[in-house]
Chain A
Amino acid sequence: MSVELDVFVGNTTIMDEEVYQLWLDGYTVNDAVKVRMEGGVMDECEASKDVLLSDTMDQYRTFQMCERLLHSPAKLANQLLFQIPPHRQIMLIERYYAFDDTFVREVLGKKLSKGTKKDLDDISAKTGVTLKSCRRQFDNFKRVFKVVEELKGPLVENIRQHFLLSDKLARDYAAIVFFANNRFETGKRKLQYLSFQDFAFCAGQLISNWTVGAVGEYNMVEDMDVDLDKEFLQELKELKILITDKDLLDQHKSLVCTALRGKTKVFPEMETSFKNLSRGLINIAAKLTNTKDVRDFFIDLVEKFIEPCRSDRWTAADMKLYLTHYTNSAHILDTFKHQVVWDRYMGVVKSCIFKMYHD
């Protein structure tokens, strides 16, 4: 004797958020039943294991049928097959597009290609996220990437409108798209200490300051928020004067040192490493015209700036103090004419370093 067929269909589609999460997390039906039993749901309604199994199967089927719609969330609102109240629709979408930070950290900056997809089982083993869930998350990244690639206008807004995501999630996706597009290196060992949220913050900074769209005058250009502003990158070369011109370099150093003196314990270290640090930052700027060097932007920041400071035991406050004065002092230099570019560059670098300067 066996149950051959067992379905339950409600006029309003019944979805249990807990089961949905288990499904998203890639649990098999049997595993999900176990988790639910442990969760004590059986006590709620004098349910038996069979009841739980039947319910879980029903819900899994429903989710599978909905999955197609979730791929283009706008369809969910005007499809006719499932009657789902709007707040449930929002929940379904938001959760479907939610991702594990540990997983995204692994693929951040990688090409969203078939090759990467093949490595997902390794990532799954490494992160403990089920392969099924890895695939869903990866496909989500890819789908969002593909859709916004062809759209004009601001990236975050496009993602939010097209995928009906919350502002927070849309920004995260924008970061993922931005990283994937520019193929920033994030996997090196020296960068391992950085979380996805660190990178997402930096991506937000880059998107709003360094891209074509950041300038404001080009309002509806393709990829305006994805590609860095080439003109700006070109102009960054001009900043080299700050390290090539001996006078300027000295003048800059003395201005910064005057300002810092007595305000921090690590002042001596700051004074000695000023030239090295300044060279580091400005060389990063000057090289950004090369795609290869753009990819190494974060590793360069760590190697050329963060690591030296850390070995000198700067605190985060020291770092803040130093960078603020370093940036501001350049304005006082009479012969330095590239104030606008300088601000645009240092603004982002400063906030990125603040974010990245932790253990």
Chain B
Amino acid sequence: MPGKLKAKIVAGRHLPVMDRASDLTDAFVEVKFGNTTFKTDVCPKSLNPQWNSEWFKFEVDDEDLQDEPLQITVLDHDTYSANDAIGKVYIDIDPLLYSEAASVISGWFPIYDTIHGIRGEINVIVKVELFNDLNRFRQSSCGVKFFCTTCIPQCYRATLVHGFVEELVVNEDPEYQWIDRIRTPRASNEARQRLISLMSGELQRKIGLKVLEMGGNAVVGYLQCFDLEGESGLVVRAIGTACTLDKLSSGSAPNTNTHMHPNTAPASNACNSPSKDGKEPVFVEDLPSSSGPPTPFRALPTSSSSPPPFSPSKPCSRQSSSSDTDLSLTPKTGMGSGGSAGKEAGPLRTLLRQQTQTALEQREFPFFTLTSFPPGFLLHVGGVVSARSVKLLDRIHNPDEPETRDAWWEEIRQEIKSHARALGCHAVVGYSESTSICEEVCILSASGTAAILNPRYMREGCLDIGCTDHRFEDPSPPSCGFCHIPYDELNMPFPAQLTYCYHCRRQKVPDVLFTTIDLPSEAAVAGKGCLIQARLCRLKKKAQGETNATAISNLLPFMEYELHTQLMNKLKLRSMNALFGLHIQISVGENMLLGLASATGVYLTALPAPGGIQIAGKTPGDLSNEHISSIQKRINDTIAVNKELYQINPPELAEEGVGSPIPEPRHRSRLFRSHSESSDELSELDLSHGKKDAFVLEIDDTDAVEDIHSLLIDAPPPTGFYSCNTENMPGISNWTSGVQMFTSVRVLRLSNANLTNQGLNKIFTDLCENLLKSFYFKLRSMIPCCLCHLNFTVAVPEEELIQVTVTAVAMTYDKEQTQEKTAEKPVNKGSLEAEEQLQFPLELCADSSSSNIQTASKISGVAESTNISPRAASVDYGSFADRCSTWLELLRLKAHTIRRGSVKTSRRTQSLAHSVSSLERCSPLQEGRSRSLRSSRSFGGSSVTVVKMTPLSFLPGIRIIKYLGIINMFFIRETTSLREEGGVSGFLHSFIAEVFAMVRAHVAALGGNAVVSYSMKECVFMENPNKNQAQCLINVSGDAVICISETDQESSASTANTGQTGGGGTDGAT
């Protein structure tokens, strides 16, 4: 009997009129948990009933506590006929099950009915008393914390990252059971909502068990998805990254703020997390809570003095025998590291890498759902790895043994793993999985970024000393290290142009880098980033079963190839050389496939400048030369415009500005490179881009012309707007307090039956572009502003329908400060410029006044210099011309692809510059924040808590002081009076608003005031206008948090260092 659940029904308000005669309602409430039900008294003739019930007590297993939701039904009492249901509230009590989170759920919840929507509100108080259960064979996993956030949550420190956890549960879909024929739509919807709630609970509990088994205490980057397989069932699956997290004590909390105040930051912070100023607050959380100069040697005792609660990385239960994997892998990578002098720093590092390898290879899947990492975690990035597989669904016969689905995913993951290995990487980061289902065909997709990680993090208790560790074993500067190729130069997995890193000149980097992760905070970029999308439609014949699946899998490689080409072209058109947050979705419909690739393009200064795009006719006389040259001109103009727009001034440009102490603001690029290596590249300024590295597009038929036109269609965002699909916007960090999260859905009906691929592409592209234009227009009052985390989801709900769902957040930033920063930076740069490159770590450390780091870096610097040919290496540009054909061949060979890429960042000098400049910036920032504080106070006056929502892991100017648990809600809404509710748009508009309202209410009831890492996982819309009916399913998730304004926190910190958590808690709860 490990738990007692108590619930009290206080009151209702705004209830609907249920009795037409009296215009009133006789309401009472049923409270149900498991199989136990309690009822309140009837509160006669009131639309605002006061029940003030006794405490209803449920004595239950904690297993049930995790699986079951508390179900509250509000009914209208009717003496003569059956009682009418007004609506229900499901309360997930999981957040009450771990001690650090919420202690009580109390507040107003919207009463929701699947047919009528929200009908009034009810005030409920829920508490849980947990008894300790020492049973080792327990089935529950109470106490494991879940986070949707794909980075280490603020106010926590990761002492150990255990790795990948996954689970799936299957069931029959109630909608497809025989009983559905005789029950009401309401009953059917409620059965479905309840089942999914139960399955999510069960799934979470099972994942929790795996985490406990691995010795962790939390799941970060928890991603749960539903597959509505129709007749064949319902699958709920989840993946995540198991971690051991330590809560930072409130006393050390100010430390988390160091990125805002570099003057108080420990030296290591100044070096390693270049103060992106709130953009990446996450990383800073991993700093040691004790300030003072951290040393590699001092830090170790720190970790051992607080021994990790669990033994290091126990293998996960599902692990296959690892010995053969080890055997097959270790030699290969060993060879790789030996063979490529360009990337290995020295024997020490090789050794460490092998250690990592073993640590990682012990795991069946060395995958991480995280997209951003503590500094030093990520050593090298290989590129995107992805795998897709087309499956035919069949009925799930035994829900308790979901082997088929498990096997499918296992297969895909193995493939991903082998791709990563081919890239010379031992891990996959930014990993995610998705499905697209149409009738009985299902496309399973998985993608991630192959990477090499710092082995320290795989072992116990070292994450907090990452910075010093990192220095010790990896000589690559953090600003470019991750761009250095991890694979063997002589044995490259795909054709790529390698050059020496433009930053450190010591190691090889590819010409372009694609990744699924966020831009590392320490990366050096030039100018701003921007959203880049590739969109594609492919018609396919209608078919059944096997034939259909074959047709689809034959189309897939071509789609991948075309999407990739589009991305590459668009990237070059914007004069950028790296993609972050790449997400490729392929959606299947009855007669077409839709592909949408979104990513954030950026110019990494460690990578070579992208070449232009050159247009060529198939044969000289093929098309009029005039035509070709006009297209060429347009392309060159576009590139020039984009360079200006995104303020991309590659290092060669900055070089000119170096002499003058305060260059013009548009020379703002963060790339302050001192040396003169690339004077030959100055010719790039004329935008002819030379012939040496231009990307050649051949115009051999009208299709190709169309393709080029479509390339140029993408309109740049209007002045004052930027957009990206990642957590942080490259080039913008000075956020002000304006935040507007939104969801937009658009469905297009294709009326013309004889559409061509080209026509479809155009329609699809216009759809996406028009959506973006709408956003810009609607949010114009927020200018200057950036649309962050633009997440597009496409679907083909029926034949001839295309649905695009977008969730994103618009955030305001301070334009002035950007300029201020730019003006400052070159000054810092100037002082550093004179220094010899090989010496820079030393100088840097002197600057940051950490003698220990100094030694460490000196060692590494020496080690490296022995190993590497000096930076004199000439930059070798080759032609990209043949890449396309090679790619096509590669793709023909394999249905699944390995995508590549690599990135570069500015190096450490730069991060220093960052931290210095952010110091100077901090006073204006505070002004911005006090504004937000004031506004939140005025909100406090109203009776409803203002709940902010964002798909990002942070809120600008606001510090998260407590995570209250995950929000994971599933709703169905149905109507049989579609016209009366304002048609499909009216119906969906109110449903989405209702979902937001319910999420906010639940967060407020937990005592929270914000949702971070919010996402709408599913938005399935079905309509039947002829019958005046529509149905929609929505699944949302996020992390409920309490946060306080930075300025608030500072004042409380100055008065009393302790107890501020408590103070903040009440602050947020009111």
Partners in one complex: yes
Q: Quick check: is B742 within 8 A (CB to CB) of the other chain?
A: yes
Q: Quick check: is B801 within 8 A (CB to CB) of the other chain?
A: yes
Whether B780 contacts A45 by the Cβ 8 Å rule is yes
Question: Which residues of the partner chain B approach A8 to less than 8 Å between Cβ atoms?
Answer: 742-744, 774-775, 778
Whether B943 contacts A77 by the Cβ 8 Å rule is yes
Instruction: Provide the bound-state CA to CA distance between A58 and B747, in Å.
Output: 14
Whether B996 contacts A3 by the Cβ 8 Å rule is no
- Which residues in chain B, 738-761, are within 8 Å of chain A measured between CB atoms? 740-752
Instruction: Provide the bound-state CA to CA distance between A5 and B14, in Å.
Output: 30
Chain A: CB-nearest residue to B1025:
A4
Q: Whole-angstrom distance from the CB of A93 to the nearest CB of chain B? A: 13
Instruction: Provide the bound-state CA to CA distance between A61 and B1021, in Å.
Output: 19
Instruction: Provide the bound-state CA to CA distance between A48 and B718, in Å.
Output: 13
Instruction: Provide the bound-state CA to CA distance between A81 and B941, in Å.
Output: 18
Instruction: Provide the bound-state CA to CA distance between A90 and B129, in Å.
Output: 43
Q: Whole-angstrom distance from the CB of B162 to the nearest CB of chain A? A: 34
- Given contacts A46-B773, A51-B774, A78-B942, is CB(A9)–CB(B121) below 8 Å? no
Instruction: Provide the bound-state CA to CA distance between A8 and B773, in Å.
Output: 12
Whether B715 contacts A4 by the Cβ 8 Å rule is no
Instruction: Provide the bound-state CA to CA distance between A77 and B941, in Å.
Output: 10
Contact partner of B949 (CB less than 8 A), chosen from A6, A11, A52, A89, is A11
Q: Quick check: is A40 within 8 A (CB to CB) of the other chain?
A: no
Contact with A along B964-1003 (1 / 0, CB 8 A): 0000000000000000001011101110111011001100
Whether B774 contacts A2 by the Cβ 8 Å rule is no
Contact partner of A7 (CB less than 8 A), chosen from B741, B744, B939, B943, is B744
Whether A6 contacts B746 by the Cβ 8 Å rule is yes
Question: Which residues of the partner chain B approach A45 to less than 8 Å between Cβ atoms?
Answer: 718, 773, 776-777, 780
Question: Which residues of the partner chain B approach A80 to less than 8 Å between Cβ atoms?
Answer: 108, 110, 118, 121, 944, 997, 1000-1001
- Given contacts A8-B778, A85-B939, is CB(A47)–CB(B773) below 8 Å? yes
Contact with B along A58-96 (1 / 0, CB 8 A): 100110110000000001011111110111010000000
Whether B993 contacts A81 by the Cβ 8 Å rule is yes
Contact with A along B425-461 (1 / 0, CB 8 A): 0000000000000000000000000000000000000
Q: Quick check: is B564 within 8 A (CB to CB) of the other chain?
A: no
Q: Whole-angstrom distance from the CB of A75 to the nearest CB of chain B? A: 6
Question: Which residues of the partner chain B approach A62 to less than 8 Å between Cβ atoms?
Answer: 989
Q: Quick check: is A55 within 8 A (CB to CB) of the other chain?
A: yes
Question: Which residues of the partner chain B approach A54 to less than 8 Å between Cβ atoms?
Answer: 774
Whether A48 contacts B773 by the Cβ 8 Å rule is yes
Question: Which residues of the partner chain A approach B938 to less than 8 Å between Cβ atoms?
Answer: 85-87
Contact partner of A2 (CB less than 8 A), chosen from B108, B745, B748, B946, is B748
Q: Whole-angstrom distance from the CB of A201 to the nearest CB of chain B? A: 34
Whether A1 contacts B942 by the Cβ 8 Å rule is no
Q: Quick check: is B948 within 8 A (CB to CB) of the other chain?
A: yes
- Which residues in chain B, 932-971, are within 8 Å of chain A measured between CB atoms? 935, 938-939, 941-944, 946-949
Q: Whole-angstrom distance from the CB of B742 to the nearest CB of chain A? A: 4
Contact partner of B989 (CB less than 8 A), chosen from A3, A44, A51, A61, is A61
Q: Quick check: is B705 within 8 A (CB to CB) of the other chain?
A: no
Question: Which residues of the partner chain A approach B711 to less than 8 Å between Cβ atoms?
Answer: none
Question: Which residues of the partner chain A approach B304 to less than 8 Å between Cβ atoms?
Answer: none
User: Could you tell me how many residues of chain A have their Cβ less than 8 Å away from some Cβ of chain B?
Assistant: 42
Instruction: Provide the bound-state CA to CA distance between A1 and B803, in Å.
Output: 13
Q: Quick check: is A38 within 8 A (CB to CB) of the other chain?
A: no
Q: Quick check: is B770 within 8 A (CB to CB) of the other chain?
A: yes
Q: Whole-angstrom distance from the CB of B178 to the nearest CB of chain A? A: 32
Q: Whole-angstrom distance from the CB of B609 to the nearest CB of chain A? A: 29
Instruction: Provide the bound-state CA to CA distance between A50 and B777, in Å.
Output: 11
Question: Which residues of the partner chain B approach A65 to less than 8 Å between Cβ atoms?
Answer: 989-990, 993
Q: Quick check: is B539 within 8 A (CB to CB) of the other chain?
A: no
Please classify the interface of chain B as helix (H, G, I), strand (E, B), loop, or mixed, using the class held by over half of its residues: mixed
Question: Which residues of the partner chain B approach A3 to less than 8 Å between Cβ atoms?
Answer: 746-749
Instruction: Provide the bound-state CA to CA distance between A2 and B14, in Å.
Output: 39
Whether A79 contacts B949 by the Cβ 8 Å rule is no
- Given contacts A79-B14, A82-B993, is CB(A5)–CB(B988) below 8 Å? yes
Whether B14 contacts A75 by the Cβ 8 Å rule is yes
Contact partner of B997 (CB less than 8 A), chosen from A4, A10, A77, A81, is A81
Q: Whole-angstrom distance from the CB of A332 to the nearest CB of chain B? A: 56
Q: Quick check: is B125 within 8 A (CB to CB) of the other chain?
A: no
Question: Which residues of the partner chain B approach A2 to less than 8 Å between Cβ atoms?
Answer: 748-749, 751
Q: Quick check: is A129 within 8 A (CB to CB) of the other chain?
A: no
Q: Quick check: is B763 within 8 A (CB to CB) of the other chain?
A: yes
Chain B: CB-nearest residue to A13:
B993
Q: Whole-angstrom distance from the CB of B645 to the nearest CB of chain A? A: 13
- Which residues in chain B, 792-851, are within 8 Å of chain A measured between CB atoms? 801, 803
- Given contacts A14-B778, A45-B780, A80-B108, is CB(A5)–CB(B984) below 8 Å? yes
Instruction: Provide the bound-state CA to CA distance between A128 and B763, in Å.
Output: 43
Question: Which residues of the partner chain A approach B718 to less than 8 Å between Cβ atoms?
Answer: 45-46
Instruction: Provide the bound-state CA to CA distance between A123 and B778, in Å.
Output: 36
Question: Which residues of the partner chain B approach A50 to less than 8 Å between Cβ atoms?
Answer: 770
- Given contacts A4-B984, A47-B773, A86-B939, is CB(A11)–CB(B742) below 8 Å? yes
Instruction: Provide the bound-state CA to CA distance between A80 and B988, in Å.
Output: 17
Instruction: Provide the bound-state CA to CA distance between A75 and B935, in Å.
Output: 21
Whether A51 contacts B770 by the Cβ 8 Å rule is yes
- Which residues in chain B, 1008-1053, are within 8 Å of chain A measured between CB atoms? 1021
Chain A: CB-nearest residue to B751:
A1
Q: Quick check: is A12 within 8 A (CB to CB) of the other chain?
A: yes
Instruction: Provide the bound-state CA to CA distance between A167 and B996, in Å.
Output: 34
Instruction: Provide the bound-state CA to CA distance between A46 and B447, in Å.
Output: 36
- Which residues in chain A, 114-152, are within 8 Å of chain B measured between CB atoms? none
Whether A7 contacts B988 by the Cβ 8 Å rule is yes
Q: Quick check: is A57 within 8 A (CB to CB) of the other chain?
A: yes
Q: Whole-angstrom distance from the CB of A244 to the nearest CB of chain B? A: 54
Instruction: Provide the bound-state CA to CA distance between A356 and B1001, in Å.
Output: 54
Question: Which residues of the partner chain A approach B14 to less than 8 Å between Cβ atoms?
Answer: 75, 79
Whether B985 contacts A1 by the Cβ 8 Å rule is no
Chain A: CB-nearest residue to B741:
A11
Instruction: Provide the bound-state CA to CA distance between A51 and B14, in Å.
Output: 36
Question: Which residues of the partner chain A approach B741 to less than 8 Å between Cβ atoms?
Answer: 10-11
Instruction: Provide the bound-state CA to CA distance between A55 and B742, in Å.
Output: 14
Q: Whole-angstrom distance from the CB of A290 to the nearest CB of chain B? A: 37
Whether A64 contacts B982 by the Cβ 8 Å rule is yes
Chain B: CB-nearest residue to A3:
B748
Whether A77 contacts B942 by the Cβ 8 Å rule is yes
Instruction: Provide the bound-state CA to CA distance between A82 and B992, in Å.
Output: 11
Contact with A along B763-788 (1 / 0, CB 8 A): 10000001001111111100000000
- Identify which of B941, B947, B949, B993 gathers the most chain A CB atoms within 10 Å of its CB: B993
- Given contacts A45-B780, A65-B989, A82-B993, is CB(A4)–CB(B801) below 8 Å? yes
Question: Which residues of the partner chain A approach B989 to less than 8 Å between Cβ atoms?
Answer: 7, 9, 58, 61-62, 65
- Given contacts A6-B746, A81-B993, is CB(A51)–CB(B777) below 8 Å? yes
Question: Which residues of the partner chain A approach B997 to less than 8 Å between Cβ atoms?
Answer: 80-83
Question: Which residues of the partner chain B approach A51 to less than 8 Å between Cβ atoms?
Answer: 770, 773-774, 777
Q: What are 28 A-B pairs with beta-carbon distances under 8 A?
A: A1-B751, A5-B746, A5-B988, A7-B988, A8-B743, A8-B774, A8-B775, A8-B778, A9-B992, A9-B993, A14-B742, A14-B779, A47-B776, A47-B777, A51-B770, A51-B774, A51-B777, A61-B989, A64-B986, A78-B943, A79-B14, A80-B997, A80-B1000, A81-B993, A81-B997, A85-B939, A86-B941, A86-B942
Please list the residues of chain A having a beta carbon within 8 angstroms of any beta carbon in chain B: 1-14, 44-48, 50-52, 54-55, 57-58, 61-62, 64-65, 75, 77-83, 85-87, 89
Given contacts A5-B984, A6-B747, A61-B989, 15 further A-B contacts (CB under 8 A): A2-B751, A3-B747, A4-B748, A8-B778, A11-B741, A45-B718, A58-B778, A62-B989, A64-B986, A65-B989, A78-B13, A81-B110, A85-B935, A85-B939, A86-B938
Please list the residues of chain B having a beta carbon within 8 angstroms of any beta carbon in chain A: 13-14, 108, 110, 118, 121, 715, 718, 740-752, 763, 770, 773-780, 801, 803, 935, 938-939, 941-944, 946-949, 982, 984-986, 988-990, 992-994, 996-997, 1000-1001, 1021
What are the 5 tightest A-B residue pairs by CB atom distance, in nearest-first order? A5-B747, A10-B742, A11-B741, A9-B992, A4-B747
